[in-house]
Amino acid sequence: MTRRELRRRAEALRAPQAVAESSPPVLRVLMVCTGNICRSPMAEALLRARMDTDRMRVRSAGTRPVIDGEMPAEAQRLTIAHGGSQADARGHRGRWLIEPIAEDADLIFAMAREHRTAAVELAPRMLRRTFTVREFARLATSLSDSELREAAESAGSDVRARLTAVTALIATQRSMVTPPSPKDDDVIDPYRRSSDTYERSAAQLVPAIDEVARVLRIVTG
pTM of the model: 0.88
Condensed to tens digits (0 to 9), the pLDDT of residues 84-125 reads 999 999 999 999 999 999 999 999 999 999 999 999 999 999
Cβ neighbours for 15, distance < 8 A, ≥ 6 positions apart: none
Condensed to tens digits (0 to 9), the pLDDT of residues 27-36 reads 999 999 999 9
Which domains does the chain carry? 3-220 (3.40.50.2300)
Instruction: Please tell me the distance from the alpha carbon of residue 148 to that of residue 165, in angstroms, as a whole number.
Output: 9
Q: Please, is 33 exposed, middle or buried when counting C-beta atoms within 10 Å of its C-beta (0-12, 13-18, 19+)?
A: buried
Residues of the chain short of pLDDT 50, as ranges, are 11-22
Instruction: Please tell me the distance from the alpha carbon of residue 69 to that of residue 138, in angstroms, as a whole number.
Output: 31
